[in-house]
Amino acid sequence: MSLLVLMPVLTLLFAAILTPLVTALGKAVGFEKARDLFSIGAFAATLYYVFKLDLLVKASEEGFAVYHLEAYGPPFGVTYFVDSLSVYMAYVYVGVGLMVAVYSLRYMEKDSGLDKYYALLLAMVAGMIGVAFAGDFFNLFIFWETMSLSAYVLVAFRKHRWEPIEASFKYLVMSTFGSLLFLYAMSFLYGITGTLNFEALAQGLQEAGPSTLTMFFLVTMIVCGFGVTASVVPFHTWLPDAHPAAPASISAMLSGVVIKVGVYAIYRVLFVAFTPLVFDFGTVLMLFGILTMTVANIMALLQRDIKRLLAYSSIVNIGYILTGAGIGAYALTHYYSTAPEIALVVAGLAIMGALFHVFNHAVGKGLLFLCSGCFIHEAKTRDLAELEGIGKKMPWTGASFSVGLLTLAGVPPLSGFWSKLFIILAGFNMAKDPFMVGVTIAVVVNSVFAAAYYLWVMQRVMFRKPKTRAEGAREAPGTMVLPIVLLAAACVVVGIWPDLVIQLADSAAHALIGG
Amino acid sequence: MSLETSWYLAAAAILFILGAYCIAVKRNMIKIVIGVEILTSAVHLNFVALGSELSPTLAVEALAQSVVIVSIVIAAAIATLALLLVINAHRHYATLDVRRLRRLRW
């Protein structure tokens, strides 16, 4: 029971409201960058509060912190529930947000309406953290919509061009359909149990014991609803349009972290409210995961546009993350009764790997989109054929771009290798189960396939002879290179000392499966 | 579950299907936005119907009321934004036909 639980969300929301004011003040005194520095400061302050909250959660005996209004306690009132999983996700969101804010300092300077840009960016991250901290469906829904509404506007930010408008409309319609689908599922859950609080819901569902068919429908509606934002195939079609159409900084945000919010919501709702011991949703998650990575891998190969290729590769990585959770849930459902220790170890390993991959993909894909923003800024084209050899002209950006590609390809000394290894190891720990072996082999095949085209992109961008458009490119300004180099350094450092993140991811995974 | 409530639930389901059909089939961008609004109403109806089922004293239970009121506000924001995008799209193409708009590959 501490107000600190609210601080990360409140800081960002207040900063979002104050941004127009700061802009006006900055204009009055002739210092326009005030709003940029203000939002960077807001992200830094939020990072500090998340850190404090992390300490609070670690220090608490039960491993979580709760906040609710005095008069309206659970199971009816709004609850904020923070455990190590919420804190872990909040770290990722705010970290990438901070890097993006620093990058926007120079990248966005030619655009107009920047006060709105920063206000929306801050509100979007506030919404994401709110989803991570929500202890009930009501809260989750409100923050979810805060995040989505900001994201729609940010995709359409450069509204003088046709592409962002179309992409944003498509994103809006599909994503609203998704959120209404889970609101529909939510209303049924409310009708069955009379509450929207996750903990009370889990109890209520076990007591009410609805039929398998009802539960099947509800799980499907929830996975589909959140799956639209998480871009699970077949609900992914908005993503390859929306992510490239947005400004590069926003693409980094959308691909790096916003789709993870969808995954987080799937994790939280399924593991807490439905509990894998009672309902077998692991199989569904694995099937969706395999389908997602396979389809997106094939589509990624066909792309000529660098940002579309990166967008498809985001979908592939969502596939790994879902499969990781699926393996964990499957192990718990099918083996907890016969071999509880093995089931818990495998589930812990698989979910830890999936959460570690959330971090790696957020950092790696954020890095790649920011680099592609630099390339496009210089060469004025998104065509991969035109961008060949540009890495030679922009050594810092090019080198960081290669690090990003290698980490997502899973090349050993870099961080992406470890997370994939954990997911695959967890799968092979269940070698007696033929279905699990099949799934694991599919993951291995897909990651080798993905590694092949990452290396191909790297070869084109870094080692070919520069073409006319790439010839004139020069290194991006310092404040654009800084976040890129920092993110690349994070990939290398975490690759060499994976323990840094594994500890956080491990406690987050155990908070999810409870023990 | 009383007979009355299940009628409401059935109506909500039919509205939901109608809304989804409208989004999938209609070619006019404004009609697609209307489809989204129909979907929203369907879900709200469902929520309120289940809320009235749960509450013995009040007409509709307080939690369902608050969720629906907040959701109506959000739906208004979404509709506003969607119509803004429609206006911008109309400026680019001078048409509201979604088929003309699909320069984006699937």
Q: What is the mean pLDDT of residues B15-36?
A: 92
Of B80, B78, B104, B77, which is closest to residue B93 (Cα–Cα)?
A: B104
Q: How far is B89 from chain A (nearest CA, A)?
A: 6
| Rounded distance between C-alpha atoms, residue A353 and residue A501, angstroms | 11
In the numeric block, the tokens 């909040």 are attached to A90
B23, B63, B102 member nearest A196 (Cβ): B63
Residues of B in contact with A237 (CB under 8 A): 106
Q: What is the mean pLDDT of residues A471-477?
A: 80
Q: Which of A257-271, A448-462, A463-477 has the lowest mean pLDDT?
A: A463-477
Q: Which of A46-55, A70-79, A253-262, A321-330 has the lowest mean pLDDT?
A: A70-79
Residue A510 confidence (pLDDT) above 80: yes
Residue A509 confidence (pLDDT) above 50: yes
Residues of A in contact with B40 (CB under 8 A): 180
Q: Which of A264-278, A405-419, A446-460, B49-63 has the lowest mean pLDDT?
A: B49-63
CB A205 within 8 A of CB A193: yes
pLDDT band at B103 (very low <50, low <70, confident <90, very high): low
Largest CA distance in chain B: 55
In the numeric block, the tokens 């506003």 are attached to B80
**What whole-number percentage of chain A has pLDDT above 70?**
98
Name which of A160, A166, A238 to mutate to probe chain B: the one with the most chain B Cβ atoms within 10 A of its Cβ: A166
Output the average pLDDT for chain A: 89
Residue A113 confidence (pLDDT) above 80: yes
A279-301 pLDDT tens trace: 778 888 899 999 999 999 998 88
For chain B, the structural domain boundaries read 3-100
A381-414 pLDDT tens trace: 888 888 888 888 888 999 999 999 999 998 888 8
Regarding predicted confidence, which is higher, A126 or A475?
A126
Residue A13 confidence (pLDDT) above 90: yes
B36-61 pLDDT tens trace: 999 999 999 999 998 888 876 667 78
Residue B89 confidence (pLDDT) above 50: yes
Range among A36-45, A189-198, B53-62 rated most confident: A36-45
A306-363 pLDDT tens trace: 899 999 999 999 999 999 999 999 888 888 888 888 888 888 999 999 999 999 999 9
Q: How far is A344 from chain B (nearest CA, A)?
A: 36
Between chains, do B63 and A76 touch, taking CB under 8 Å as contact? yes
Q: Per CATH, which fold does B3-100 belong to?
A: Helix Hairpins (1.10.287)
**What whole-number percentage of chain B has pLDDT above 90?**
51
Q: What is the mean pLDDT of residues A493-512?
A: 90
Give one word for B28, left, alpha or beta, with left for phi > 0 and alpha for psi -120 to 50.
Answer: beta
Between chains, do B81 and A152 touch, taking CB under 8 Å as contact? yes
The contact set of B with A (CB < 8 A) is 16, 20, 23, 29, 32, 36, 39-40, 42-43, 46-47, 50-51, 53-54, 61-64, 66-67, 70-71, 74, 77-78, 81-82, 85-86, 88-89, 92-93, 101-106
Q: For B41, which residue in chain A has the nearest alpha carbon?
A: A180
CB atoms within 10 A of CB B27: 12
Q: What pLDDT sits at residue A228?
A: 92
A143-190 pLDDT tens trace: 999 999 999 999 999 888 888 998 999 999 999 999 999 999 999 999
Residues 177-196 of A with CB under 8 A from B: 177, 180, 183-184, 187-188, 190-191, 194-196
For chain A, the structural domain boundaries read 277-515
Residue A453 confidence (pLDDT) above 60: yes
A362-382 pLDDT tens trace: 999 999 999 999 998 888 888
Of A193, A333, A315, which is closest to residue A262 (Cα–Cα)?
A: A315
Q: Which of A429-433, A505-509, B10-14 has the lowest mean pLDDT?
A: A429-433
Q: For A75, which residue in chain B has the nearest alpha carbon?
A: B63
Q: What pLDDT sits at residue A274?
A: 78
| Rounded distance between C-alpha atoms, residue B96 and residue B27, angstroms | 8
Residues of B in contact with A195 (CB under 8 A): 63
Mutual orientation of helices A114-133 and A84-107 as an angle, nearest 10°? 170
Q: For B6, which residue in chain A has the nearest alpha carbon?
A: A191
Q: What pLDDT sits at residue A421?
A: 92
The CA dihedral of A294, A296, A301, A303, to the nearest 10 degrees, is 170
For residue A386, CA distances in Å to A248, A308, A392, A457, B18 come to: 18, 15, 14, 12, 46
Q: What pLDDT sits at residue B100?
A: 75
Residues of B in contact with A153 (CB under 8 A): 81
Residue A206 confidence (pLDDT) above 60: yes
Q: What pLDDT sits at residue A209?
A: 74
Residue B106 confidence (pLDDT) above 50: no
pLDDT band at B93 (very low <50, low <70, confident <90, very high): confident
